[in-house]
Structure 1
Amino acid sequence: MLVHLRLTAPADLAGTIVRILEADECVTNLVVLQDVCRDPRGDLIECDCPRESAGTLVDALDDAGLGKRGGILISRPSSTPFRRAEELEAAAPGDPDDAVIWDEVLDTAESASRPTVSYHLFLVMATILAAIAVITDSSVLVVGVMVVSPDFAPVAALCTGVVFARPHLVWRSARLLVLSFVFAIAVVTILALLARAGQLLSVSDVTADRPQTEFIWHPDKWTFIVALIAGAVGVFAMSTDKAAAMVGVFISVTTVPAAGNLALGLATGSGAEIGGSATQLGLNPAGMVVAGVAALGIQRLGRSRLERRRSRTAEPLS
């Protein structure tokens, strides 16, 4: 599949940008509209290229100064039914399903590291549902909770910040992850205390045997192993834009269910529930971060080698 680049270039830089695009054998449908842009004042340049080569091309444009002085927009056509597109896709290194546009990954990570009202609402609501799932011993509801939860986004952003050596991204992601869970647990603890006061919740509701959901606060060796695998799958899905695979990641880990049970443990003073849930709550993100950093680093290294091989065979600029 091709991607479409829409570039706005200042007049003094447009010639360089056009030469970069003309020299790239994977670029097609190159269009240059001179002096049509007003901000920045200059040329509008559009082209298409395979997703596999888009990352290298965007890096070259950024190195030429377009990222700072102009604009780079990447979009994905729903279909490219023409022969030249098929030829370019066949000639491009790798497979489009494996291709990564690192600028997109970084943009996604930056967005995921920002605290938003919607993020906190989703996490609080998911934690409330998790607490209800624990009380009713509903494994089905636990699965629903894990799908609703938004907590993997800052985990993936943290991994990206580590791999790309961006301390501000690591700090923002880690702060969001920790503080958002503290806030969600505090809200659910208060609600649980109100429920106890209204006799909607009793200590026995939390401490009774619950065979369908006891895995939430009984972590074992498999807890960390599952978190490792889920973290690796998650960053692969994020970087290659496989949204369907992300759902599987959400369902694999019990971070939010553990947060809901921790809140109930705090409200009822149950030490066993607090200890087990806190352990689960720590193991899951830790495992995902370790595996996510490793997987993203390996992916970036492999892609860099592929792009260097392509650059060595590319036609030099004239």
Structure 2
Amino acid sequence: MLHVRISVTADLSDRVVALLTEDPAVSSLSRIRGASVRPIGDLVLADVAREAANDVVERLRSLGVHKTGSLQIEPVQAWMSQAGYEADRLAPGSSADSVVWADVTQQAYDDSELNWTYVIFMCLATLIAGIAIVLDSQILVIGAMVLGPEFGAVAALGVALVRRRFGLAKRAARTLVVGFAVAILVTGAAALLARALGWVTVQDVVGPRPGTAFIYTPDKWSFIVAVVAAAAGVLSLTSARVGGLSGVFISVTTIPAAGNVALGLAFGVGEEIWGSSLQLVINLTGMALAGWLTLLVQKALWSRAARRRVERSARSPHD
């Protein structure tokens, strides 16, 4: 169940209330006249079955509610309502499987914003990855993977393609490129300092590293793992049942590859640079493609569910 909060101008208030009243997916509805100061108008509150949220939101957008007022959507953690149960039962599909596109799109914009927090996390994660490579420590590699914030921007690329938000695609691509570039430069500078101090030698970079050799030796499994992990990650982001993101972070070799590129640049080891760069490109490409395909399938499935809902409502609008 989702809670919808609408600040609407007085001239649209009656139309909004009528729209929500007629929809069987709306289990409760309230209007507080004159409660909205900006915009001047009413405050409308409604509980909507998650499965029907996209249709309700699109119909509200068609009225222009978002242009003159505001529309907020919040998940309801716990609720007790017979009317809510009936609305949830009548809406086709499962609430855990449904994708609320307004929420997914907003999250994509938030996760793909290039800010200092994102860049700092990228740098810290890549620094840890560089240390993990020098020490040949799988534990530190996992820590670097979990710390890296890049998956949100990768997932945003898929959202941008499915929703045709090309500005979002440009924003996400810029965030990824700048983030990795800055992280590699900072880690490379740290590696040069460690080299000057004698803490790290070229042998630490090119010597046998059985625990972290996968970072610079990509193969077909690198792409397959990236595809599977990204599909799981997108499902975790779009579903009401979240819990698989930590596994996604540990599965993909993006941050460790960036750390190895930085070490290769600092010590002039071309093989390390080439292998890790290829690993990074393979993982990012696989993740972006898988995210896009997963969202495309979800969009197709829920478009069909929305059509069934409209047909059912037309046959029995208040049943």
Which range, TM-score by smaller chain? over 0.9
Work out the CA distance in 2 between the residues paired with 1:39 and 1:250: 42
For residues 121-172 of structure 1, the C-alpha deviation after alignment (integer angstroms, 9 at most, x for no partner) is 1110000000011111111111111111101011011111111112111111
What secondary structure does 1:277 align onto?
A: helix
- Using the TM superposition, give the Cα deviation of residue 59 of structure 1 relative to its aligned residue in structure 2, in angstroms: 0.9
- Using the TM superposition, give the Cα deviation of residue 241 of structure 1 relative to its aligned residue in structure 2, in angstroms: 4.6
Q: Is the 8 A contact 2:6 2:43 kept in 1?
A: yes
Q: Is the 8 A contact 2:95 2:240 kept in 1?
A: no
Work out the CA distance in 2 between the residues paired with 1:64 and 1:48: 19
TM-score, normalising length: structure 2 = 0.96
Work out the CA distance in 2 between the residues paired with 1:85 and 1:276: 55
1:183 correspondence with 2:182: yes
Match of 1:151 in 2: 150
Q: Which moved more, 1:306-315 or 1:258-267?
A: 306-315
Work out the CA distance in 2 between the residues paired with 1:172 and 1:5: 28
Match of 1:139 in 2: 138
Counterparts of 1:36-185 in structure 2 under 5 Å?
36-185=35-184
For residues 171-226 of structure 1, the C-alpha deviation after alignment (integer angstroms, 9 at most, x for no partner) is 11111101110110001001100110011110011111011111111111100111
Match of 1:232 in 2: 231
Work out the CA distance in 1 between the residues paired with 2:16 and 2:88: 22
Match of 1:220 in 2: 219
Work out the CA distance in 2 between the residues paired with 1:208 and 1:86: 63
CA gap of 1:44–1:315, structure 2 versus 1, over 3 A, is farther
Q: Is the 8 A contact 2:97 2:240 kept in 1?
A: no
Amino acid at match of 2:171: R
1:11 correspondence with 2:27: no
Q: Is the 8 A contact 1:234 1:245 kept in 2?
A: yes
Work out the CA distance in 2 between the residues paired with 1:21 and 1:243: 29
Gaps of 5+ in 1: none
Work out the CA distance in 1 between the residues paired with 2:60 and 2:208: 61
For residues 204-253 of structure 1, the C-alpha deviation after alignment (integer angstroms, 9 at most, x for no partner) is 11111011111111111100111111121222221115442111111110
1:249 correspondence with 2:212: no
Q: Is the 8 A contact 1:51 1:101 kept in 2?
A: yes
For residues 33-52 of structure 1, the C-alpha deviation after alignment (integer angstroms, 9 at most, x for no partner) is 11221110111110101111
Match of 1:308 in 2: 307
Amino acid at match of 2:243: A
Work out the CA distance in 1 between the residues paired with 2:277 and 2:15: 56
For residues 10-38 of structure 1, the C-alpha deviation after alignment (integer angstroms, 9 at most, x for no partner) is 11100100010000011122111112211
Amino acid at match of 2:232: V
Amino acid at match of 1:231: A
Amino acid at match of 1:7: I
Work out the CA distance in 1 between the residues paired with 2:166 and 2:6: 30
Runs of 4+ in structure 1 over 3 Å off: 315-318
CA gap of 1:112–1:257, structure 2 versus 1, over 3 A, is same
Q: How many residues align?
A: 317
Q: Which moved more, 1:123-132 or 1:162-171?
A: 162-171
Q: Supply the RMSD in Å over aligned alpha carbons.
A: 1.5
Work out the CA distance in 1 between the residues paired with 2:6 and 2:178: 39
Amino acid at match of 2:230: G
Work out the CA distance in 2 between the residues paired with 1:253 and 1:177: 15
Amino acid at match of 2:19: I
Task: Quote the sequence identity (%).
Answer: 41
- Using the TM superposition, give the Cα deviation of residue 101 of structure 1 relative to its aligned residue in structure 2, in angstroms: 0.7
- Using the TM superposition, give the Cα deviation of residue 315 of structure 1 relative to its aligned residue in structure 2, in angstroms: 4.5
Work out the CA distance in 2 between the residues paired with 1:46 and 1:295: 33
Amino acid at match of 2:163: F
Amino acid at match of 2:21: E
CA gap of 1:45–1:315, structure 2 versus 1, over 3 A, is farther
- Using the TM superposition, give the Cα deviation of residue 312 of structure 1 relative to its aligned residue in structure 2, in angstroms: 2.1
Gaps of 5+ in 2: none
What secondary structure does 2:243 align onto?
A: helix
